Amino acid sequence: MIPGLQSFPGDVIHSSSYKSGKSYSGMNVLVVGSGNSVMEIAYDLAAHGANTSIIIRSPVCTHIIYYYF
């Protein structure tokens, strides 16, 4: 449980309930997580005009591949 969540006046939904970013146009939206669905949701929200931010609990493992020609 997130402290203060019960008194938060905005919407809180799980990714399984997300349908479209259309109704979030012009709103500030925080997307929590780092999986593929989070990135797709954040992109969709931004594409529909939401002011989108992403937060994750811990660093994301990244793999960098260098190509030398």
- pLDDT of residue 66 exceeding 70: no
For the stretch 16-51, pLDDT in tens is: 999 999 999 999 999 988 888 889 999 999 999 999
What pTM, to 2 d.p., does this model score? 0.76
User: CA distances (Å), 67 to each of 5, 63, 64, in order?
Assistant: 46, 13, 10
Domain boundaries, the chain: 24-57
> For residue 21, what are its two tokens?
């970013």
Mean pLDDT of all residues in 2-16:
88
Three-state secondary structure call for residue 3: coil
